[in-house]
Amino acid sequence: MIPGLPACTRNYTPENLSMDRRFFLGSAVAAAGTPLAGARFPERKGNARLSIGLAAYSFREHFGWMKGEAREPRGREMDMFGFIDFCAEHGCHGAELTSYFFPASVDSGYFNRVKRHAFLRGVDVCGTAIGNDFSMGEGTHLDGEIAAAKTWLKKAALMGAPHVRFFAGTGRGFSAGKDRVAAAVTALRECAACAGELGIFIGIENHGAITADFLLDLVKEVDSPWVGINLDSGNFISDDPYADFARCAPWAVNVQLKVHIRRNEPADLPRLVGLLRQARYQGYVVLEYESGKPSEEIPGYLRTLRRLCG
């Protein structure tokens, strides 16, 4: 437990859930476009406000740590302080500090130094991202995933990050049965209670070959004012990813834009930003770059995003 932060104890059991036919992969939404009773649609007043951020994942090959294991970086090595410097030097408002690339066993002092460094460079720590999987069903593995997720919520609080990207799980995992979806909702509700105590948003990403309908139903079933969608423009699996993006945008609490969309097609960035404006999205638009040479190629895309989002 991190001193000074809530313990985030367990509050939910499977008996609390109202699972029904909405939850099977590839299904249509039970009442298309209509939130479940009590589901909290994010309230946004006024016009869209789009702030540019950059994900540390864009430099994934350059970090000397990967999920707690030391490794040899490719090319010039980077740490979180150097990544924040890159963000500052290229006009980013925010830096998304992906959890994978932190050194193992860092203490609260390390996160305080990260927070201080970002503040002095004029960069917000706009979030972090974890690689959890809640789709394996009840048991010790899932319990460990929940505990690790809560730990990162607390670390995000230390850095002053308002958002943590979560995965729900995988399409393959959820296809094993409705009980797996129930267990995932239980896990997400438990983490949402912890996030609420810390004042941090959880954004569930459209990751792992889950459909937009499934994701929307999942967020509505979790039904927390601290849970929305981490909207990744490159991860939709349907034949119309732009339509999926538009349907999910009103529920977004964080956006990750990629320069490619389904099947490695170049993304229509003006179209994606236009859809965010239509949804009156107010928050970070984080570039997550997965191609080429990041140090050389990212600055041009950031200039494009500043022009589109300004």
Phi-psi bin for 75: left (phi > 0), alpha (psi -120 to 50), beta?
A: left
Residue 292 pLDDT:
85
CA separation for the pair 150, 34 (Å, rounded): 30
CA separation for the pair 197, 201 (Å, rounded): 10
Q: Which amino acid is at 106?
A: V
Contacts of 34 (CB under 8 A, 6+ apart): none
Average pLDDT for residues 236-257, to the nearest whole number? 97
Residue 32 pLDDT:
29
Q: What are the boundaries of each domain within the chain?
A: 49-309
Residue 43 pLDDT:
81
Fold classification of 49-309 (topology level): TIM Barrel (3.20.20)
Dig out the tokens for 138 from the structure.
Answer: 């009840």
Q: What is the pLDDT of residues 211-237, one digit of tens each?
A: 999 999 999 999 999 999 999 999 999
Confidence of residue 4 (pLDDT cuts 50, 70, 90): low
Average pLDDT for residues 27-46, to the nearest whole number? 54
Q: What is the pLDDT of residues 101-150, one digit of tens each?
A: 999 999 999 999 999 999 999 999 999 999 999 999 999 999 999 999 99
**HSE-CB for 89 with a 13 A CA cutoff:** 9
Asked whether the predicted pLDDT for residue 186 surpasses 80, the reply is yes
pTM above threshold 0.85 = yes
285 burial class (0-12, 13-18, 19+ CB within 10 angstroms)?
buried
CA separation for the pair 244, 112 (Å, rounded): 38
Residue 17 pLDDT:
42
Confidence of residue 12 (pLDDT cuts 50, 70, 90): very low
- Tell me if 131 sits within 8 A of 207, measured CB to CB: no
Asked whether the predicted pLDDT for residue 15 surpasses 80, the reply is no
Residue 91 pLDDT:
98
Neighbours of 131 (CB within 10 A): 16
Neighbours of 225 (CB within 10 A): 12
